[in-house]
Structure 1
Amino acid sequence: MFGLEQIQMKLLCFETRSNCLMLLVLIMLKWDFSDCSSETSPTAVSPTTQLTTYLTTKLSLENVKNVQVSAADVSITLMWEKVQNISTYIVRYFHNSSKEVNVNCTEGASITHEISGLTPATKYNFTIITVREESKSTGYTVKAVTRPLNPEELKAVTQNETSITLQWRKVSNIYSYILFYNETNVTVSASDEEKVIKEIDGLTSATRYSFRLFAVFENVMSSGINFSAATAPRNSNWFKSISQNESSITLQWEKVDGILDYRLVFSREQINVSANVSQEQVTHVVSGLTNGTKYSFSVFAVFENIQSSGTELTAATVPLTLAAVRVTERTVSSVTLEWNVDVGKKWIYILHFNGKNITLNTTTNNVLSSTLSSLQPGTEYTFSVVTKFFELHSKAYEGFTVTAIDCSVVNWHVTDSSIQGEVGGLFSNATAANKSETHVSPGGSNVSFTGLYPGATYRITLMYEKNSYFFHQCTHNLTIIPPVLSGHCEHWGGGYSVQIVWNKPPGVWTAVEVNVSGRTLRTGEQYVTVSGFQPATAYQVSLAALSGAVRRPEPFVFLCHTDPRGVIAGSVIAVLIIGVLLCIAAFVYYKRPDIISRRKFYSGAAEQLNTKPKAISAVKFAAHFHRLSENEYMGFSEEYENLSPVGRDQTQKVALLPENKSKNRFVNILPYDWCRVKLSKSSPTASDYINASYMPGYNSKREYIATQGPLSSTLNDFWQMVWEQRVNGIVMVTNCTEKGRAKCEEYWPPFSKPCLYGELLVTTTSEQEESNWTLREFTVKHRDTCEECRVKHFHFTVWPDHGVPLNTEILIQFRGLVRQHIERQASSAPTVVHCSAGVGRTGTIIALDVLLQQLQNQKAVGINDFVHRMRLHRSNMVQTESQYIFLHQCIMDCLPSDKKTEESMYANADIIYVNATALKELIQMHNAKNFSPVMTCT
């Protein structure tokens, strides 16, 4: 129909080879055509020949069949059977660009070829072309995907009893993963985060699991990686402490599912504990702990180095047993116990005493104390103290103590050679001692001392000893009856007087009481002269020895006959005496009228001084002094006498209360209510009384405190006053004992040996002895607050009782030391000044300090005025006339040289002491006529 030359036909290749072949055959049967690739003109050939030639040359190469693909992450392996035993093939593959490789394999019936250098997780198209000489098949195409890379950094991030959380780094652009474990697979879809996290739950505690993880791309999995992890064990169901002591705690907990390894954690410490296979619980002792301390424990079960979440427990060690409990104070009805505590540990203390439990809590003070009252005298009491912390109790500290005995209530039977009394209460031995010997009583409650020295004062001491502990039960001073006297009288004074003489008996006596015709006299000599009798008359005389306040109850009585010669001579002597007196009176009237005028002058001066005493200028003081000194110091006497009633109309109600009377050294020296020093009271029923008065000074109305020398029963009160008044200086102008009499209790401790006075611990830190005084320094510390202060002690040691110092110079120098200390301290606190009663020598040194300041600053001095002021605050200040005169002499010796006269009073110093002696004799005569138990003192 068409000619070959009219049709230019190209061979079209279809994928369906059978259809293509049938089409070609039909075409060739219709038309003849030559090879299209030939460049020569076609030769006329029959159609059959042309078709045969074409099929032979073009259609004889087949494509490969049964191609198998095996993928790796960077390569793909193709495997196919050879076509017609052809050995040469071309493999073309395409992703982003096309590449091909020649494959030539002469051996075998199949070919396996690996295409490497590929990109993981990538789709590729592969075409396999059969090649023989210049002929090629149409090619066989197959699609293949490289495997993705395996995930990296696979690990378990958390493990508990029922789950394990896994984490791995995401493979680039791979969002699908498959996790195999325990015959289970889980598909995991990743997010855009770099890390992939998957929690696997529903697991069994304390079990190891094996995992295999694959990355998935286009349903192709990576080669996979293996990983194993274990779940945590469960916690113990119970955890407790079963015992503890001061340094260890024994813990016990349930063993978990046969696990043998445990970890115990406390106080930043970690201990690995191995359990016993055969036991159902685990026990462990934690030692090396601190006593009385609370600890927090955590115990973990450990399985393959994985621990449980932990079980917690709080437990404590037992607190320490007290090292010591001190008995700091014992009375007849109370005891005070104290012990040291650690303020940093809030422990509780339980004191068991006399059937009662007392709970005390730790405070900021490092000492705890408890006073137990309402006890029986002389009775032994046991006690125990237990330390409590976190409901744990220490071992008890056990001790005992004994209440004191009040020896003053014992009915003592005293003779001139023995002391006997029945004492109730515990004591082991009793002694009676004076300065030279000690007597010991036989055992038993009946105390008996024999062979004693008459009139001596014995210090009776009862002691109780048990288990090498010694308890001082009581001390009591008893003066036994003085010795028996025997005496006689001698004629004296022509029968109008009698001298009574007695022997010096063996024993101690301080005075003899002589009673003649109803008149009683006391003397310390071995004789006494008594006047006012009639000659030739018999008088009854009784002699009784005194030892202190103890009088012999049975006096020695005898008759005394006066001299009969006085009857005759008396009349003559009386006439002569009258005549002499008349002559003297006439002489005085006519020859010495100035004596009468002087008496009138001094009487008027006294009235003037009594109205308003004035300061005397320094220029006029010497003349004033000499005017008072005239006529045997009559001016001084009258001035001083006018001071006697000053201040005595003021009340002293508190000092006279029954509970305060024993706190007064002398019954006639008491503070006025309005200016007395008051102590702070520890309880509503406590007393605030001390025998002390605020005194005015030059700069302040309360510059000094005048007080008595402390008694043994008022030592605590004295130091309490020093502490509360912030005193930094004490001036003492007496000795503790003078002429055998106690004037003041020694209220300070020995050097470097602290002593506790109530709540105050006093230590003598320095002591410097001079010829006329001793300087000391005390440290006073409050045991509750630990607050501390220093107190200077100025002790003047050469001031005689009822007198004045040897000269003015030493007292003025001593006053200078005191004044220098006061001014250096620059404190508003008062200075405590005391002697024995706190009026005589005390008033003199206070007045001297003030008057010298007045003299220096005002060039004038008012001695009478200031003594008057002092007596408005405390009675009897500057107690004797000799002390009053001595004050004037001190001012005279301190005047500038141009203000003095050449005469010095101490050129005739004996006059002062004659005057003082006269005053003393006057007092003795007054006592002989009107005996009174009131003691006159300084």
Structure 2
Amino acid sequence: MEGVLTLVLLCAVSALGQMKPANVGNVQTFQTETELTFQWDIVDGNTSYSYKLMNGSAQVVLINVTGTDRVVTYKVSSLSPGTNYSFTLYTVFNGNQSDGYHFSAVTVPSNVGSVSVFDRKETYIILQWDKVDKRNDYTYELINWNKVEPPIHISPTDPLVEHNVTSLAPGTEYSFTLYTVFEDVKSSGYNFSNVTVPSNIANTPTVVDFNDTDVIFQWTTSNKAYNYSLERSNTSREYIYNIGEGIKVTCHINGLIPATNYSFTLYTEFFDVRSTGFTFSHTTSLSRVTEVIFTRSQTQLNITWNKLNKNNIYDYILSESDGNEKRYYGSSEGNEFTHIYSSLTPGTVYSFTLYTEVNGQRNGSTIKSITTINCVSFKWDVTNSSIDAQVIGSTHVKAKSRTSNATILPVVDNRVNLQELYPGDNYTVSLWYYLDSEKLLQCSHLLTLVPNSVVRLRCDHFSGGYGLAVIWDPPYGVVDVVQVDVDKQRFILTSNASQRQEVKSLQAAQWYKVTATSFSGAMKSQTESRNCQTNPAGVIAGVLVFFLLVIIICAAVFLWLRYGSAKRNNSSKPLVESKVTKKNYKPIPVDTFPEHFRNMSCDENRGFSEEYEDLSSVGIEQSSAAADLPENKDKNRFSNVLPYDSSRVHLTVNDEEDSDYINASYMPGYGNASKQYIAAQGPLPSTVNDFWRMVWEKRSQAIVMVTNCTESGRVKCEQYWPLDYSPCLYGNLVVTVKSEDKAQSWTLRELNIKNKSTSETRTVKHFHFTAWPDHGVPFGTEELIKFRGRVRQHIGNSYSAGPTVVHCSAGVGRTGTLIALDVLLQQLDREKTVGIAAFVQQMRLCRPLMVQTESQYVFLHQCIMDSLKTKVVAQSEPLYENTDTIYVNSIALKQYENGSKI
């Protein structure tokens, strides 16, 4: 029984040993170009396998599996890229193998070696490469920015593969991947990039600036990554410009030839790929000579110009009006050209054309100039107020003297006619020609006008009966010297000397011809003459003195005989009369004033002259120490018009920089008003602030001005109020003109003054008399009397106001006359008497030189006379003469110079 079981068991085992193992179920394949990697699951725990590569020698390779993995991985190496391999995989168990699992696998094909660009444009690129391993069974796949290109055509006979990539953007970089494909297996991929051709610029470049040899182009770029190159086609010169910040590209080209047409090609560049090029042209300009210098004389014109841009390429042609030309070659000359035209006519305009020339092209401009003239060659007709001449070659005349502003007038019909000039003055007369926009000086000539004759030549007795005092008033205008001739005696007096010449050693009671002639340079006035008689009283007096002496001697003998023996024991000492500085002048009643006026006017105003002379020394012994201090000297307009310490106006001193000094004096008024007026000099530029300070501190509500700021070309007073209605600041005071009323002889203004510190505002009336001439007195009394009435009415209505400020230039002549007229007319109205001399004396005790000249003193009497009349007669001839006689005494007026009216 046991034997039977053993036999059965052995048969079973034998049967099992002869059974085939199972095949693998599936094989996964992983490939590279030279390797295939297989992977399958273990079959029934078998660890032995074998495979047979059918493509080769069909050799069987045994595979033993170790470990506990349930998956078998096996790599086959040293294969060929892009090849299809067939395999049979067997399961091996106990020497038996399965029937075999058949499968195939493909290795990865190789990439292409390189890709080149066969052609490219703005919207496409044609690529080209060699077939991989020269195999026709490979296909290729191209990916452009993750986009698969259409299938690539492959020619079986062409070793190259070509593909056109279309629908691209100009000037753009594209990234590509090219795959080699075999039986749906792709190579790893060949990566490369390339660019399309950039577009040309859209529009012709703009010319920003250009000249003969340079041009600046500018254009707009569409891509900051673009570069540009510009080529000059006729020289193959290339300019390369890179774009920087912004979208504008600028190109500066120099070294060009004037008047030449150039062709340019502008390329857009992107990754060294150029656009097709934008072609345009530009023609350089040809400049003209714009700066020409003429050197002129009466018969010659020198024309000079510089080489343009210091460039030798220009030639120059100078053409005359008759067509004659002179050529200058820039290549053979220096940097400056000069041409001289001679034998020309004086005072004639000449016209030329100056051309520049390059390459046969010309560009020219007309140039003009005029030859000069000789002023001395003309006949100048000179009087005491005019200059007249017939001239040529000038369009305007300019006349300038040392005392007046320049006068410029057109020359009409070749005639110079200058009028209303200053007598005796020296005038530089210049003739000008206005040629287009250029003013050309033709010539200059110095002319002296004829001086005016002396005024009111007269004589006075002098040195008993043996002399004459020749007296005259200075003429209007400039006079260097006055020549006086009396009985073969000649006297030369300078203009700043006294208008009085004493002539001695004459015979008594004799008539002499007296002449006076004014001279200004070589010009002399008409001679004024007068027959004068020495005093005959000396001869008669000699006889009378003889008889008088006889009578006196007889009387003395008689008295000696009668009283000689009677001696006195006590003889009294003679009384010495003390010096009287103030003379007692009696007022003149109204009813006797006309007779008094006539008596004073006799013998050429002899009475006025004597009375005025008596007043010359009044007050001069008083001190003016404050005015003479070094810090105050510059505040005085004239060195001989200084306020007395006893009557000067003191300003308030608020800080260390302030001064209490101003050239102004208190003046008495009518009755007991000791400080009704302030007589002041016209403000200087440095004292305007002090003037307004005085007006504010003294609470003045009226300012009376009896001068003009400028008279006969000389500044008499600084303009101390605003020129218009705009406020002006003077120190701490703001002055504003609120109204202005102009009449024929005066101007009335209303001024507002505001103190910046206190904000207090006051109103001040400004009475400005404008008809008082620079030399002399007004030509009539009516206007001044009416003006004084306006002033008096305002003063009368201002009961609480401070003193009225009156000023002219120095504050003594016209100022004293107006103050005296106001007071005397009040006295005349209330007392029916008038004391002219007494009041002038009273004023001179307060300020020197009040009523400065005899003519003003006589004029004051005339005003009183005319005020006594029931009706002022218009155009009446006054009994005084309008003169400027100044009695100069050695103490008060020895520093007074030039005879200027103040």
Global fold match (TM > 0.5): no
Q: Which structure's residues are more often helix, by fraction?
A: 1
